[in-house]
Amino acid sequence: MNDTVTAAFPACLAATVSGLSPILLSSSEHACSEPFTVSCGGETLLIPCRIYFPRPSDNAFRALHDTELSIVACWFTRHHDGYVRERFLRSLTAFDSAWIIAYVVALCGEYVIELLRYIWDRRELFDRLALGRWLHENEAFYRQTRSRIVSYWNCYYRSTFPCFTDYVGSHLVRFFDESIINSDAAGHV
């Protein structure tokens, strides 16, 4: 199971991730669902679609430094409970590293509108060039995420937002598309 966690983060974080195993894998009785694959700087990450572990107590975070907190937060954004995903998304203070961007963009392809609103309201936390590079590098994953945004709007939110352009997911799609264009224009792909 430790390999599952290690594979979900860049190799440069392997020792840190391994040290966090007692928090990340709080019970051997639970499991992770099949992962999705993304690339971060040419390195393949296998991020679980869902994790089924109890949420760690707040005491578990008291002595952690920023990178450790970001690892824990990203991991628990894959939790099966949407409230837990939202809580850990809110604990991220920047969406600037490619591996953090991977977890945040993955949340955009989910049906929980509160997550989309939070990400939209905190879009300044993204490093736009890093975001554009990551989206370009993960073109197929982004296409799938865009399709999910449209599909969830159509299924769950169309009655509230008859026009897709009024839906927060469409704002994120436009923001992501602009980030790709800006990254291309800056020659960073």
pLDDT digits (tens, 9 = 90+) for 129-186: 999 999 999 999 999 999 999 999 999 999 999 999 999 999 999 999 999 998 887 7
Structural domain of residue 22, as residue ranges? 2-185
| pLDDT over 70 (residue 117) | yes
> Are 47 and 103 in contact, with CB atoms under 8 Å apart?
yes
**pTM of the entire predicted model:** 0.93
pLDDT digits (tens, 9 = 90+) for 53-100: 888 888 888 889 999 999 999 999 999 999 999 999 999 988 989 999
In the chain, how many domains are there?
1
> Are 120 and 168 in contact, with CB atoms under 8 Å apart?
yes
User: Average per-residue pLDDT in the chain?
Assistant: 92
| pLDDT over 60 (residue 28) | no
> Are 109 and 85 in contact, with CB atoms under 8 Å apart?
no
Q: Which residues, including other chains, have CB under 8 Å from residue 87's CB and lie 6 or more apart?
A: 55, 76
What's the distance, Cα to Cα, between the start and end of the chain in Å? Answer: 34
pLDDT mean over 16-40 = 85
pLDDT value of position 118: 97
* DSSP code at position 188: -
pLDDT value of position 188: 58
